[in-house]
Amino acid sequence: MAGAVQIETVAKKMQEQTAEICFSRRTLARIDALAKRTSRTRNFLINQAVEHSLEDLEDIYLAEQVLEEIKTGKQKVYSLEEVEKELGL
């Protein structure tokens, strides 16, 4: 059974990677204060913040990219009437 636990631990470690991030002193102090008040680690809070923010950032930057493609004619825009007609609605 010990072998199975070791394999699981190795698999979990392989899924995680590290990245170096520089924070302002003020931001790091806020993270540390929240960590202390909530009994969580700095790492946990930073991961939570990134995961919750990443979806919004993806939406913003990908929308900007699509808008640029529309402006340059690389992507076509369809009216509601065109879509309804195409779908037979």
Give the residue extent of every domain in the chain: 21-87
Mean pLDDT within 38-60: 93
pLDDT higher than threshold 80 for residue 4: no
Sign, Cα dihedral of 9, 15, 20, 24: negative
- 23, 31 Cβ separation under 8 angstroms: yes
Res. 5: pLDDT tops 80:
no
Q: 63-76, pLDDT tens digit by residue?
A: 999 999 999 999 99
Mean pLDDT, the chain, as a whole number? 87
- Give the Cα separation of 30 and 36 in Å (integer): 10
pTM value is 0.56
Residue bearing tokens 């059974």: 1
- Contacts by 66-73 with C-beta closer than 8 Å and gap 24+? none
Helix 25-38 and helix 42-71: axis angle, to 10°? 130
Q: How confident is the model at residue 17 (pLDDT cuts 50, 70, 90)?
A: confident
